[in-house]
Amino acid sequence: MFYFDPMYFLYIAPAVLLGLWAQMRIQSAYSQAQQLAAPLSGAGAARHILDSAGLNNIAIEEVPGHLTDHYDPRAKVLRLSSEVYRSRTLAAVGIAAHESGHALQDAHAYAALRIRNAAVPAASIGTHVSIPLIILGAVLHMNAVLIWLGIGLFAGVVVFQLINLPVEFNASSRAKAQLVSLGIINDQELVFVSKVLNAAALTYVAATLQAVLTLLYYVTRFTGGRRD
């Protein structure tokens, strides 16, 4: 069956290797930054950043899980994992500031964030439906309609991933600027926060690259790039 094709793993190998390297970097950077004290907890840093921007209406909630931190633009709520919410470390304030950066993007109507949020429903459908459609089309005697419908939906997922990259990079840039300008950390401490956020951004790059290479594999596979 095509979905066990060894060529697929050759296609995505660069993204897999990049992803593994990114995970190693983020674990190393996060562990290091966890050992360094910060004047505020993650929740305290987030509250300071939001209040300084006049976003007193945005609530901050503690949620279970490891690195489950996110900003919910619909509920206008910043949700931080317990470790980030309570810890007074550079790792915690860096992650909390990054999520606060998304809230700042939302408040300032950052175009890429608006496009990403609008694309979420379509990307969700593509994530769950595209591969089953491609597989079903291949099983049903290479049904071209199903295969290309699946590929089209997966292309939508790739577009979403590409849109997401500038959103994440911009949130990190806003986070680092706010942390320093508000005096939460100094320039020396910024080095360690930057390592955490840069490593986290690299995981998004790896995921996007894997999506692009997977799409390339499917297009090549079903346009005569390989005949079975």
Q: Which residues belong to the active site?
A: 99
Residues whose CB falls within 8 Å of the CB of residue 107, separated by 6 or more in sequence, listed in order? 53, 55
The C-alpha torsion from 130 through 99 and 26 to 200, rounded to 10°, is: 50
Residues whose CB falls within 8 Å of the CB of residue 22, separated by 6 or more in sequence, listed in order? 199, 202, 203, 205, 206
The C-alpha torsion from 202 through 204 and 206 to 207, rounded to 10°, is: 170
- Give the separation between CA 34 and CA 31, rounded to whole angstroms: 5
Phi-psi group of 13: left, alpha or beta (phi > 0 → left; psi -120 to 50 → alpha; rest → beta): alpha
Residues whose CB falls within 8 Å of the CB of residue 74, separated by 6 or more in sequence, listed in order? none
Cα distances from 217 to residues 42, 71, 128, 205, in angstroms, run 42, 33, 18, 18
